[in-house]
Structure 1
Amino acid sequence: VDAVVGVLSSTGDPRAVLLMRWMSGSTYLVDGTSAAAETVLAVILIAAAFAARHWLDILPLGPAPSVAVGVPLARARLALFGLAGLLTATATLTVGPLSFVGLMGPHLAREAGLTRAMPQMIGASLIGGGLMVAADFVGRTIVSPYQIPAGLVSALIGAPFLMLMMRRKA
């Protein structure tokens, strides 16, 4: 991806700016139509994730216990990987890669003591959404009238925090 941005930048193509803005996790270009479409897709995919919560509770026990209680292991794994990919792609297509928000939400939900699938999904969603709103707010106000992309703000704050969490676990 960096090579594509480099080529577009070196040729003076104006799309390079849009691509760089998207890659930084910017919410600047999100309008009402794309937000509504994102909301509809999110509701559908999150409902599917909630429907798969039993698999998410059982699969961490390992393959043998999962098969013993009747979970179709290959089908469950494929469905969950596909669902995770669709959820990620839906969000990424709209605002770009917000990797630290996606990393921090589940980790913070687990740190909050949420261990079962349903509470952890809800907690991670609320925490991730809160982090996204906070990063967007900080990015829009800290150097006003200029704006810093939410993905960059979340990475600047999230990277040291994630390293602190990893260091604490070691």
Structure 2
Amino acid sequence: FAVAGAISVLFVIFVSSRRSAFAPERVLLAGIALSAMVDAVVGVLSSTGDPRAVLLMRWMSGSTYLIEGSTAAIEVVLGAVLITVSLAARRWLDILPLGPSPSAAVGIPLAKSRFALFGLAGLLTAAATLTVGPLSFIGLMGPHLAREAGLARALPQMVGAALIGGGLMVAADFVGRTIVSPYQIPAGLVSALIGAPFLMLMMRKRGAS
């Protein structure tokens, strides 16, 4: 059901953004609207009193408690394949931010390339989320910290973001497992509690400069 839901949401985002050639702002707005709707559905399911709602809330918190070795191995394989494909798209990622005109001038099909990149991003997100739940702050902070470290071009920024994001995930999981031991705090909650103030401070410093 989670896979079907992820594919359905991605399909709706693509359909609603197709007329704008998958312009990033239209994709973002469609994602925000669908996120609000899905959050409401999750809230309704959680308020029914069904004991399975506890498992749902644990998963929504970004928990690594129930991950087994076989699941982790599958995730490593999926990650390696999808990240390799992402690295192969580095030329698009270097040129597309320059705007539609430069992209068309060098022969990059705007709509098709955006569609492929958004689809790839959706697959990467789904592969991680279906395993441990949403870890939006890890995905948000990794690229920002990589850029703050001076990694501007697509290839080094992707590699840096992957390494930083993985490091943050391991650190959040370690803190969650030890700070109130023997109890555990989900890694997603730890990353949000620590990451949100840090990201706001970083953005404030950048705005001041």
Q: TM bucket by the smaller chain?
A: over 0.9
Mapped pair 1:35 → 2:78: no
Mapped pair 1:44 → 2:95: no
Corresponding residue to 1:83 among 120, 123, 146: 120
> What residue is the counterpart of 1:113 in the other structure?
150
Residues 63-115 of structure 1 deviation map (CA, whole Å, 9 limit, x = unaligned): 11111111111111110010011101111111111111111000000000001
User: Normalising to structure 2: TM-score of the pair?
Assistant: 0.78
Q: How many residues align?
A: 170
Deviation, structure 1 residue 9: 4.3
Question: Quick one: higher RCO (CA 8 Å, sep 6+), 1 or 2?
Answer: 1
Aligned amino acid, residue 98 of structure 1: L
Deviation, structure 1 residue 12: 3.1
Find the aligned partners of 1:160 and 1:55 in 2 and give their Cα distance: 32
Deviation, structure 1 residue 152: 0.4
> What residue is the counterpart of 2:188 in the other structure?
151
User: Normalising to structure 1: TM-score of the pair?
Assistant: 0.95
Corresponding residue to 1:12 among 49, 55, 67: 49
Find the aligned partners of 1:157 and 1:120 in 2 and give their Cα distance: 23
Find the aligned partners of 1:3 and 1:56 in 2 and give their Cα distance: 34
Deviation, structure 1 residue 136: 0.1
> What residue is the counterpart of 1:23 in the other structure?
60
Root-mean-square deviation (Å)? 1.3
Structure 1: segments with no counterpart, 5+ residues = none
Mapped pair 1:136 → 2:169: no
Residues 107-151 of structure 1 deviation map (CA, whole Å, 9 limit, x = unaligned): 000000001111000000000000000000000000000000000
